[in-house]
Amino acid sequence: MSDPVRVTVGGATFTSFQVGKINLKASELIRKGTELPDGITPDTNFDLPICNGHLAVGEASIVIDPCDYEELIQYERRPEGYVAPPSLLSQLSGRGVKAEDVTHVVITHFHMDHCIGSTMKTSEGTYVPTFPRARYYLGAADWNSPMLQEDLKSTPMAMNSLGVLGRSKVLTLVDRPMQVVPDVMIVPMPGESPGHQGVRMTSQGGDVMVHRRPLSRCYGCGRSEDYGGLERP
Ligand SMILES: [Zn+2]
């Protein structure tokens, strides 16, 4: 398991940690029409790391892109021989964060590796929000996209995650920069989906943007420590 990435900005601490990897071919990883770099063919395999984020600032405990790897792997390919790290919830708990402590969940975009951990299966086989006290934030343009609206009617992984958040009335749709707590903004930005968004943290003069790099430029994603994008604007 790779070491977590930790960035402190003033009084805010961002941690990124890996919860799993999925195997994808280049053709599944990039947008149609994207030119392939030298040495990459549509069949080239990548083991794509899935990283979750946690941001602690003041009273707020913010999870970014929650992924339940065991749930996801029912729909995606596990790399051969790969043994996944502990689950999102156990890694959070190892950092002293219990599910009920989480106040906000930001989903950078609607791809399932970024949100399938936003809900969990109960012993009765139904799905409920994983973080019972949290408000969840998704880009409005993602929620309203015809693709997601269709998936919410017909695709179990979307119905059991984002669909449950919608029905549970815990979802806020973001269509403009939105301050969620002092020092933390959700910012719509170009990315992998129409409603892609990042998280900007400013604290005591610091200024860091957490986001996902568009997949069409994501050939370096074999670097497991890479959250996907973490930069100082
Ligand atoms: Zn994605």
Determine the distance separating the centroid of ligand 1 and the alpha carbon of 96, expressed in angstroms. Answer: 28
Instruction: Report the b/e string of 70-105 with b at 16+ CB within 10 A.
Output: ebbbeebebbeeeebeebbbebbeeeebebeebbbb
Cα 58 to ligand 1 centroid, rounded to whole Å: 29
Q: What is the pLDDT of residue 225?
A: 32
pLDDT of residue 102: 98
Say how many Å lie between the CA of residue 46 and the centre of ligand 1: 14
The more confident residue out of 129 and 201 is 129
**Per-residue DSSP letter, 166:** H
Q: What is the mean pLDDT of residues 147-168?
A: 96
pLDDT of residue 189: 86
Q: Give the per-residue pLDDT at 64.
A: 94
Q: How many A from CA of 191 to the centre of ligand 1?
A: 8
Beta strands, E only, 29-118: 45-57, 60-64, 104-106
Backbone phi, psi, residue 176, to 5°:
-160, 165
Instruction: Point out the least confidently predicted range of 43-57, 74-88, 213-227.
Output: 213-227
Query: Residue 72, CB half-sphere, CA atoms under 13 Å: how many?
Result: 27
- What domain range includes position 53? 5-231
Tell me the residue type at 144.
Answer: N
Best CA proximity match to 199, nearest among 123, 108, 115 = 108
The total of other beta-carbon atoms located within 10 Å of residue 183's CB is 21
| Count of structural domains, the chain | 1
- Identify the CATH number of the domain in which residue 49 sits: 3.60.15.10
Interval 83-116: pLDDT, tens: 999 999 999 999 999 999 999 999 999 989 999 9
Q: Is the pLDDT of residue 218 over 60?
A: no
Q: Confidence class of residue 1 from pLDDT cuts 50, 70 and 90?
A: low
* Mean pLDDT of the region 19-47: 82
